[in-house]
Amino acid sequence: MKLLNNAVAGIRPEQTPPGRGRFFRSWLKIQMENEGYQPPLSGLILLQICIGVLFFVLITRLWYLQIQRGEEFARLSLENRLRQERIFAPRGRIMDSAGKIVADNRTACGLALVREDCRDIPATLTQISVWSGIPSAQIWEKYQQDRLKVKSFEPILILTDISFELLSRIESEIYAWPGLEIVVRTKRDYPEKDIFAHVLGYVAEVNEKEMGEDSSLATGDLVGKAGMELELEKRLRGQKGLYDVEVDAHGRALGKFLKKEPRGGHEARLSLDLSLQRAAWAALGGEAGCVVVMEPDSGKLRALVTSPAYDNNLFAAGISKRDWEALRTSNRFPLQNRVIQSVYPPGSVWKLVMAALFLEHGISPRESVSCSGQVKLGEQIFRCWKQGGHGVMNMENALVSSCDVYFYLMAEKLGIDKIEAFAKACGFGRATGIDLPHERSGLVPSRAWKRRRFGQPWVRGETYNIAIGQGYTLTTPVQIAVYVSALLNGGDLLKPQLLENDARVVTGRLPASDRTRNFIVNAMRQTASGGTARVVARGDADMGGKTGTAQVVKLKMAAGDRRLRSAEMEYAQRDHAWIATWGNKSGKRYVVVVMVEHGGGGSTVAGPVASKIYDHLFGLGTALTARTAQ
Amino acid sequence: MDTRLFGYINWSLLALMLLLYLTGVINLYSASGTRLDSGMTFSGFYQRQLIWGACGLCGMVAAMSFDYRRLRNLAWPFFLITLVLLLLVPVAGKSIYGAKRWLSLGFMSIQPSEAAKLAILLITARILSRETQPLGWKNFFSVIGVAVLPCAFILLQPDLGTTLMILLILTGMVLFHGLRGYVFKTCLFLAPCAAAFMWFAGMRDYQRQRILTFLDPGNDPRGTGYHILQSRIAVGSGELWGKGFTEGTQSQLRFLPERHSDFAVAVFGEEWGFVGCLILVSLFCLFLLGIFSTASQAKDRFGSLLVVGVFFYFFWQIFINTAMVLGMMPVVGIPLPFISYGGSATVLNFTLIGIVLNVSMRRFMFKG
Residue A355 lies in a domain: yes
Task: Mark yes or no for CB contact A255/B302 under 8 Å.
Answer: no
Q: Is residue A610 part of a domain?
A: yes
- The pLDDT assigned to B62 comes to 93
**CB-based contact A254 B253, cutoff 8 Å:** yes
> pLDDT at position A594, please?
94
Domain C-terminal end among A269, A296, A318: A269
Find the range with the poorest average confidence among A28-32, A187-191, A406-410.
Answer: A28-32
Measured distance CA(A473)–CA(A71) in Å, rounded? 70
pLDDT digits (tens, 9 = 90+) for A531-543: 888 888 888 899 9
- Does position A149 have pLDDT exceeding 80, yes or no? no
pLDDT above 70 covers what percent of chain A?
A: 90
List the strands of the sheet with B109-110, edge to edge. Answer: B94-96, B99-104, B109-110
Count: domains in chain A: 3
Does residue A380 sit in the same domain as residue A398? yes
Residue of chain A whose Cα is closest to the Cα of B226: A249
Residue A554 to residues A356, A465, A470, A557, A575, Cα–Cα distance (Å) = 27, 11, 10, 9, 10
Kindly state whether residues A224 and A176 are assigned to the same domain. yes
Residue B106 to residue B108: CA distance in whole angstroms: 6
* Angle ∠(A355,A361,A366) on CA atoms, nearest 5: 60
For residue A518, is it within any domain?
Answer: yes
Query: Which chain A residues are closer than 8 Å to B289 by Cβ?
Result: 51
State whether B130 and A8 contact (CB < 8 Å): yes
Mean confidence (pLDDT) of chain A? 85
For residues B24 and B144, give the distance between their C-alpha atoms in angstroms, rounded to a whole number. 35
Question: Does one domain contain both A435 and A396?
Answer: yes
**Is A628's pLDDT higher than 50?**
no
Q: Å from A76 to nearest chain B CA?
A: 7
| Closest-CA residue to B125 (of B297, B293, B311) | B311
pLDDT at A630: 38
Q: Look at residue A561 in the predicted model and tell me its pLDDT.
A: 46
Residue A241 three-state SS:
strand
- What CATH number is given to the structural domain containing A481? 3.40.710.10
User: What's this model's pTM, rounded to 2 decimal places?
Assistant: 0.66
In A43-71, which positions are buried (b, 16+ CB within 10 angstroms) versus exposed (e)?
bbebbeebbeebbebbbebbeebbeebbe
Residues A52 and A159 in one domain: no
Q: How sure is the predictor about A61, in pLDDT bands with cuts at 50, 70 and 90?
A: very high
DSSP letters, A379-426, are TEEEE-SSTT--EEE-HHHHHHTT-HHHHHHHHHHH-HHHHHHHHHHT
Residues of chain B contacting residue A66, judged by C-beta atoms under 8 Å apart:
235-236, 238-240, 269, 273-274, 277
A511-530 pLDDT per residue, tens: 999 999 999 999 999 999 88
pLDDT of B257 higher than 70: yes
Mean pLDDT score of chain B:
85
Helix (DSSP H) and strand (DSSP E) numbers for chain B = 14, 5
Give the highest mean pLDDT range of A4-8, A505-509, B193-197: A505-509
CB-CB: which of A5, A29, A66 is closest to B274?
A66
pLDDT at B362: 84
Question: Per-residue pLDDT tens for A436-483?
Answer: 989 999 999 999 999 999 999 998 888 998 999 988 899 999 999 999
Strand partners, B36: B39
Alpha-carbon distance A292 to A591, whole Å? 8
Cβ separation of B73 and A1 shorter than 8 Å? yes
Q: For A255-297, what is each residue's pLDDT tens digit? A: 778 888 888 889 999 999 999 999 999 999 888 999 999 999 9
A70 within a domain of the structure (yes/no): no
Task: Give yes or no for a contact between A251 and A151, defined as CB atoms under 8 angstroms apart.
Answer: yes
Say yes or no for a CB contact (<8 Å) between B298 and A39. Answer: yes
CA neighbours within 13 Å on the CB side: how many for B181? 0
For residues A599 and A456, membership in a common domain is answered with yes
Size (chain B), residues:
368
- The percent of residues above 90 in pLDDT, for chain A, comes to 39
| A47 plus A123 within the same structural domain | no
Closest CA to A236 of A264, A201, A269: A264
Segment A410-439, tens digit of pLDDT: 998 899 999 999 999 999 999 999 999 899
Please tell me the predicted confidence (pLDDT) of residue A185.
77
Domain at A137, CATH number: 3.90.1310.10
Q: What is the ipTM of this complex?
A: 0.90
Is-contact A383 A561, C-beta < 8 A? yes
Average pLDDT, integer, range B335-349: 90
Least confident among A23-32, A82-91, A102-111, A218-227: A23-32
**Residues A521 and A464 placed together within one structural domain of the fold:** yes
Tens digits of per-residue pLDDT, A158-184?
A: 887 788 888 888 888 888 888 888 888
Q: What number is the average pLDDT over the span A329-358?
A: 90
CA distances for A326 relative to A56, A190, A320, A470, angstroms: 76, 20, 10, 33
My answer on whether A394 and A517 are in the same domain is yes
- The CA distance from B236 to B198, in Å, is 33
Residue B56 pLDDT exceeds 80: yes
* Distant-in-sequence, close-in-space partners of A6: CB < 8 Å, separation ≥ 6: A13
Whether A43 sits inside 8 A of B177 (CB atoms) is yes
A567 Cβ contact partners less than 8 Å away, ≥ 6 residues apart: A600
Confidence grade of residue B97 (pLDDT, cut at 50, 70, 90): low
**Same domain for A467 and A398:** yes
Tally of CB atoms within 10 A around A320: 10
Strand, coil or helix: A377: strand
Q: What residues of chain A lie within 8 A of the CB of B236, using their CB?
A: 65-66, 69-70, 72-74, 76-77
pLDDT > 90? residue A320: no
pLDDT at A510 over 80: yes
In this structure, are A258 and A297 located in the same domain?
no
| More confident of the two residues A557 and A23 | A23
CA distance A28 to A45: 34
Question: What one-character DSSP code corresponds to residue B106?
Answer: S
Q: Which of B76, B237, B311 sits opposite A4 (nearest CB)?
A: B76
The verdict on residue A582 lying in a domain is yes
Which of A219, A253, A269 is the endpoint of a domain?
A269
Q: Specify whether A542 is located in the same domain as A572.
A: yes
Contact B175 A43 (CB under 8 A): yes
- Check pLDDT > 60 for residue A11: no
Q: Is A313 part of a structural domain of the chain?
A: no
Give Cα B8 distance to the centre of its chain: 26
Domain-embedded: residue A330: no
pLDDT beyond 70 at B273: yes
Of A11, A44, A249, the CB nearest to B255: A249
> In this structure, is residue A15 part of a structural domain?
yes
List the single residue in B172, B250, B273 with the smallest CB-CB distance to A66. B273
Residue A609: what pLDDT? 93
Say what the pLDDT of residue B224 is.
61
Residue A293, SS3 per DSSP:
strand
A257 and A279 housed in the same domain: no
Domain that holds residue A477: 274-307+340-629
A568-572, B51-55, B333-337: which has the minimum mean pLDDT? A568-572
Domain end point (choices A246, A269, A292):
A269
